[in-house]
Chain A
Amino acid sequence: MSASGPARQIVVVGGGVAAFSAISELRSRGFDGAITLLSPEGLPYDRPTLSKGYLLGTEDATKIRLAPEAWYAERSIELVPERAVALRPAEGAVELDGGRRLPADRVLLATGGVPRCLGVPGGEAAHTLRDLADSDALRRALAPGARVAVVGAGLIGAEVASAAVVLGAEATLIDPVDPPLVPAVGEALARRLHAMHAERGIRTIVGAPVGIEAHDGAAPGSAYSVRFADGSTVAADAVVAGIGILPDTALAEAAGLEAEGGVIVDDTGATSNPAVFAAGDTCRRRAGDGTLARRSEHWEAAVHSGQVAAAGMLGAEPPQFGAPWLWSDRHGVHVEAVGTLDERHAPGARTVLRMVDGVPQAAFLLAADGHLLGCSAVDLPLVVRAARRIIDRGIVPDPDALADPSADPRKLTR
């Protein structure tokens, strides 16, 4: 495969939202060459719901598809439900399981990640959550009355614990950090959100397990003991680990592409081979000054990196995006954050809170010069959308208006 000459045959490896975003962007930009999507799970589907609506059973597998089958046909995108086993850059091909080779002059790796396993004895018994089959298996485990120990109280762990109590299971949520999520939403909202678990009957434990012991058949209804360093244990019928992912860099590394905690890409999404691009959870961007960015594992970042790679494969300028955004749904509330709430990276910054009856509804991180760095909020979508515009447009907001629960969010950007 060679980056000389315009792209005519693009093979996209992966069936997540980064892959979908890239193929969608390629056609939007008028690319009329061949696109083949290698998606072993078939029609691409949206993953955030696997720990939310899909896990709860309020959405089904058809509903969570990113687009119906006809969408691909209308855009002449060939969907191949097979796994790529090797890139053959020198031959301009991608090799499939079974030996078939697909010709390609550009390849996009959107291989995502694999859930990090609990690195303790017995840790392999824990459920992890990444794909539909994982969510199906987890839902079977979250039966009424079942005791579920969830290790990791970040976004996915908190959502799984929330779903567990809705489904009638008893949940214990375990995390060494108290409260979790401070870098993502700021301390005030992190405390409020973490306290909601106890209010919903979830037991929260500050700590990290040192082992998972299985009692196969020995004690019915008590399949596992989650053991802590002080000797205490939590009995559980099922254990879930929500402790992050490891980027799936296997294809890239086997093809000799540079990888370090992710497949390294430049500002155009290109890897160390200019004909091979990467997007989504698997990629890690190296900035122009040579520094490696932290891999973002959020949905919107995957969408944007897919769009960047699509532009890159066509030799176009990369699109620019504003402040990053994330959301989480648990205990019936919708949590969002935009920009950064991480004070560690903002010396001199201060936090302004929007409070109602002593409860924080939104947090704003203001730089020393008054610019807005980030905002997090619970059930305040317009405040978050205003904050995003304030950040992206470099507006210096009035801190009193940010803190005022009666202030109309639509007027904050003026």
Chain B
Amino acid sequence: MSEGIDVGSPDEIEEGTARVIEPEESGFDEPIAVFHTETGCFFALDDTCTHEEASLAEGWIEGDAVECPLHSSSFDLRTGRVLCLPATQSARTHKVEVTGGRVVLYPGVDAEDAARVSEQAAE
């Protein structure tokens, strides 16, 4: 799955918050959280915490990390890497880019892989 979907204009997701893109909208099998950090960056992870049923979009977003609202596991928004217990599994990332004044999400496209590919292309 490589086709991007338009999830709105950048200012529709307030900085420090996230929006959940449900499977009906994304065609992906899991809800995806699109995060807008206070530094103006966009990232996307699977919305459900890898530990228990909780929406990471409802968590505390600070710097490049989100802290789960239930048991406070933190995840790196860039890589999905789990930063502390109780979760031990990292979160799946999805590529997001802001293009033509729109936030475009690529469900199922690993953000880090996408970044590597674009770096190689730039070389």
Judge: A and B partners, yes or no. Answer: yes
Question: What is the interface of chain A, defined by CB distance below 8 A to chain B?
Answer: 17, 20-21, 24, 46, 53, 59, 66-67, 71, 299-300, 303, 325, 327, 334, 381-382, 385-386, 410
Quick check: which of B28-36, B65-73, B95-103 contacts chain A, the rest being far away?
B65-73
Q: Is the CB of A325 within 8 A of B88?
A: no
Set of chain A residues within 8 Å of B4, measured between Cβ atoms: none
A373 to chain B, nearest CB (A): 20
A48 to chain B, nearest CB (A): 8
Give A382 to B69 CA distance when docked, in angstroms. 7
Q: Is the interface of B mostly helix, strand, loop or mixed?
A: loop
Q: How many chain B residues touch A (Cβ–Cβ < 8 Å)?
A: 15
B20 to chain A, nearest CB (A): 16
Q: Is the CB of B85 within 8 A of A21?
A: yes
Residue on A with the closest CB to B62? Answer: A389
Give A381 to B58 CA distance when docked, in angstroms. 9
Set of chain A residues within 8 Å of B67, measured between Cβ atoms: 385
Set of chain A residues within 8 Å of B86, measured between Cβ atoms: 17, 46, 66, 299
Give A24 to B85 CA distance when docked, in angstroms. 10
Q: Is the CB of B69 within 8 A of A71?
A: no
Q: Mark B51-91, 1 if CB is under 8 A from A, else 0.
A: 01000001110000001011110000000000011101000
Q: Is the CB of B52 within 8 A of A53?
A: yes
Residue on B with the closest CB to A410? Answer: B16
Set of chain A residues within 8 Å of B52, measured between Cβ atoms: 53, 59
Q: Is the CB of A381 within 8 A of B88?
A: no
Set of chain A residues within 8 Å of B69, measured between Cβ atoms: 381-382, 385
**Contacts A53-B52, A381-B58, A385-B60 given: A67-B88 contact, CB under 8 Å?**
yes
Set of chain B residues within 8 Å of A410, measured between Cβ atoms: 16-17, 60
Question: What is the interface of chain B, defined by CB distance below 8 A to chain A?
Answer: 16-17, 52, 58-60, 67, 69-72, 84-86, 88
Q: Is the CB of A382 within 8 A of B60?
A: yes
A46 to chain B, nearest CB (A): 6
Some 23 contacts from A to B, beta carbons below 8 A apart, are A17-B85, A17-B86, A21-B85, A24-B88, A46-B86, A53-B52, A59-B52, A66-B86, A66-B88, A71-B88, A299-B86, A300-B72, A303-B85, A381-B59, A381-B60, A382-B58, A382-B60, A382-B69, A385-B59, A386-B60, A410-B16, A410-B17, A410-B60
Give A230 to B59 CA distance when docked, in angstroms. 50
- A381 is contacted by which of B16, B17, B70, B84 (Cβ under 8 Å)? B70
Q: Is the CB of B85 within 8 A of A325?
A: no
Give A299 to B71 CA distance when docked, in angstroms. 10
Q: Is the CB of A325 within 8 A of B60?
A: no
Give A192 to B70 CA distance when docked, in angstroms. 20
- A327 is contacted by which of B58, B71, B88 (Cβ under 8 Å)? B71
Give A385 to B88 CA distance when docked, in angstroms. 21
Give A80 to B23 CA distance when docked, in angstroms. 43
Give A357 to B69 CA distance when docked, in angstroms. 24
Give A140 to B85 CA distance when docked, in angstroms. 30
Set of chain B residues within 8 Å of A382, measured between Cβ atoms: 58, 60, 69
